[in-house]
């Protein structure tokens, strides 16, 4: 329930000085995959929380976006202007009653946002 941050040296690839970036205490507050927008805010999928959150560079919760699936796993920015957040969700090992309530579990969702994301490097492999 903690998101950590480190200092990063791009010349050497070394990380150091781990610190707590954001901490969440609710039972459904389980940060999973995330992405960063152009304002330096961190977007995190909350597995078992049914939402994506936007966190300021100071670790403050700025916004929450509910999803029609309980287990979002990752968010990423896309589209020509990087103002679409795509969110993947899990379906595996979910209870039948949960899947009946949330039949879109396992889907990919998209939402438009005001602040564009930062481009991710292309996979070289």
Residue 29 falls in the annotated catalytic set: no
Q: CA-CA distance, 74 to 52, in Å (whole number)?
A: 9
Q: What sign has the CA pseudo-torsion 70, 1, 38, 125?
A: negative
Q: CA-CA distance, 50 to 65, in Å (whole number)?
A: 9
Alpha helices in 65-115 (DSSP H): 96-101
With beta carbons less than 8 A apart as the criterion, state whether 19 and 4 touch: yes
The catalytic residue among 32, 81, 97, 114 is 32
Catalytic residues: 32
């Amino acid at each position: 329930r903690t998101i950590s941050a480190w200092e990063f040296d791009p010349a050497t690839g070394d990380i150091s000085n781990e610190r707590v970036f954001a901490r969440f205490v609710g039972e459904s507050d389980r940060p999973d995959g995330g992405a960063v927008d152009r304002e330096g805010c961190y977007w995190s999928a909350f597995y078992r929380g049914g939402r994506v959150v936007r966190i300021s560079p100071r670790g403050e919760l700025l916004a929450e976006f509910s999803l029609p699936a309980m287990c979002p796993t990752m968010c990423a920015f896309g589209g020509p202007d990087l103002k679409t957040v795509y969110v993947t969700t899990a379906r595996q090992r979910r209870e039948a009653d949960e899947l009946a309530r949330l039949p879109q579990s396992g889907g990919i969702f998209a939402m438009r946002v005001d602040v564009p994301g930062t481009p991710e490097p292309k996979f070289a492999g």
